[in-house]
Structure 1
Amino acid sequence: MKKLWIALMAVSIMAISCKENKEEVVEEDTAVSEAPAEKTIAAMNDIEIMPISHATFVMNWDGQIIYVDPVGGSASFEGMPDAEVILVTDIHGDHMSEETLMSIKNDKNFLFTPKAVADKLSDGLKPLVVVNNGETTTRNELKITAIPMYNLTEGRLDKHVKGRGNGYILEKNGYRVYISGDTEGIPEMRSLENIDKAFVCMNLPYTMDINQAASAVLEFAPKEVIPYHYRGSEGFQNVDKFKSIVNEGNESIEVTLMEWYPSKG
Structure 2
Amino acid sequence: MTNFIKWITQACLRIKSEEPSLIIYTDPFGIENEEEADLILITHDHYDHLSGENIKKVLGTNTQIVVPLVCKEKIMEVIEDENKITFIEVGQSCEVKGIPIRAVPAYNVVKTKYHPKKKKYVGYVITVNGKKVYIAGDTEEIPEMEDINSDISILPLGQTYTMNSVNEAVSATIKTGCSIAIPYHFGTYEGNMEDAKKYKKLLEKKGITVNILQSEK
The size of the alignment, in residue pairs, is: 209
Q: 2:187 is matched by which residue type in structure 1? A: R
Structure 1, unmatched stretches of 5+, are: 1-44
SS for the counterpart of 1:119 is: helix
Q: 1:160 is matched by which residue type in structure 2? A: H
Change (3 A) 1:59 1:217: same
Kindly report which structure 2 residues correspond to 1:106-121, keeping only aligned pairs within 5 A, or say none: 106-121=60-75
Q: CA deviation at 1:132?
A: 1.1
CA distance in 2, matches of 1:205, 1:231: 11
Q: Which runs of 5+ in 2 are unaligned?
A: none
Which structure 2 residues correspond to residues 1-265 of structure 1 after superposition, within 5 A? Answer: 48-62=4-18, 63-72=21-30, 76-78=32-34, 80=35, 82-125=36-79, 126-127=81-82, 128-153=85-110, 156-162=111-117, 163-172=119-128, 174-193=130-149, 195-208=150-163, 209-231=165-187, 233=189, 235-236=191-192, 238-248=195-205, 250-251=206-207, 253-260=208-215, 262=217
Question: SS at 1:227's partner residue?
Answer: strand
- The TM-score normalised by the length of structure 1 is 0.73
Tell me: CA distance 1:221–1:46, structure 2 relative to 1, closer, same or farther (3 Å): closer
CA contact (8 A) 2:157 2:191 kept: no
Change (3 A) 1:111 1:218: same
Counterpart amino acid of residue 67 in structure 2: T
Where is the strand percentage greater, Structure 1 or Structure 2?
A: 2
**Whose helix proportion is higher, 1 or 2?**
1
Q: RMSD value over aligned CA atoms?
A: 2.1
Cα distance in 2 between the residues matched to 1:234 and 1:53: 12
Percent sequence identity is 30
Higher relative contact order (CA 8 A, sep 6+): 2
**Contact 2:115–2:139 at 8 Å: present in 1 too?**
yes
Instruction: Report if the CA contact (8 A) 2:123-2:136 is conserved.
Output: yes
Higher Cα Rg, which structure: 1
Find the aligned partners of 2:15 and 2:170 in 1 and give their Cα distance: 24
Runs of 4+ in structure 1 off by over 6 angstroms are none
Distance 1:52 1:207 in 2: 18
